[in-house]
Amino acid sequence: MPIMASGLFDIEGLLHGAGPWALAVVCAIIFVESGLLVGFLLPGDTLLIITGVLLYQGFIDVPVWLACLLIFVSAFLGDQLGYYIGVKSGPAIFEKRATGFFSRASIERTDRFFTKYGGLAVTIARFIGVVRTLTPVAAGVGRMHYGRFVAYNALGGLVWGAGLTFTGWAVAHIPAVRDFVTQYLEFVLLGVIALTLAIIGTHWVRMRLAIRRERSSNAGHTSPGQPNPGQPNSAEQHAEGARAVEPSAVSLDLSAPHPHR
């Protein structure tokens, strides 16, 4: 059955004609979501499930095992890049602001996640939107032992990347699911975009409210025109920022120091 060929997009023609290139786009998105700090904008989980369904339908014309392998490699390499960014540039990126997405608060939240789950946090984080993007960077900032990171990263890439793709492919064997996706694929994709924008908007609103509450709290403890005795001056802030970039600033007590240090 044609998929809304006269609608906003000829999705069937686009995906069927793209063949392996459609899978290349999926792999690129998974790599960016895992490895680059803008990856939290992307809907990785839903994309993988839909990719599995499209593999079964033949719109992405490659064997399912090959697709799962390539997606696994993309997810694995993405996290490896995130770890490298954390080692080389993480402190400089996240220590500039106290709140917000690229801030000390974000790293501290991820650090608490590490403290709770240990090295397995690298694997578990794959299934948690924003945490998925921050975790490899936090592991790099904290100099998590490289061998342990590689092992948990490989496990996460396999369970999340290949696992969700295969799940979508398996679920597509159910006629009702297959027929629904085939008939309404355009709306499914638009729904994914809408869901992604809603998640981003919710996160942005919560972040702005947190910043506003923090500013109000600081203003309530400081008289106009006078410095707050509880707040460091600019020289102290500079010294504190310098100390914060040391690896010990992130308490990832997971294993031995990074082997390259």
Model pLDDT for residues 133-181, shown as the tens digit of each residue: 778 887 887 778 888 889 989 998 899 999 989 988 998 888 887 777 6
Output Rg (C-alpha) for the chain, integer angstroms.
Answer: 22
Pair of tokens at residue 165: 């793709």
Pair of tokens at residue 217: 């709290």
What is residue 70's predicted lDDT score, i.e. its pLDDT? 95
What is residue 222's predicted lDDT score, i.e. its pLDDT? 53
Ranges of the chain with pLDDT below 50:
1-9, 11, 99, 229-230, 234-235, 238, 241-261
pTM, entire model: 0.61
Euclidean distance between CA atoms 131 and 40, whole angstroms: 8
Euclidean distance between CA atoms 28 and 11, whole angstroms: 19
Number of other residues whose CB lies within 10 A of the CB of residue 22: 21
What is residue 2's predicted lDDT score, i.e. its pLDDT? 40
> In degrees to the nearest 10, what's the CA dihedral of 26, 128, 126, 197?
10
Question: Among the residues of 36-63, which ranges form H helices?
Answer: 44-57
Residue owning tokens 């729904």: 191
Give residue limits of the domains in the chain.
11-220
The answer for residues whose C-beta is within 8 angstroms of residue 160's C-beta and 6 or more apart is: 48, 75, 123, 126, 127
What is residue 97's predicted lDDT score, i.e. its pLDDT? 54
- Residue 91 · residue 245 · CB < 8 Å: yes
What is residue 251's predicted lDDT score, i.e. its pLDDT? 45
The amino acid at 80 = Q
Phi/psi of residue 183, each to 5°?
-80, -35
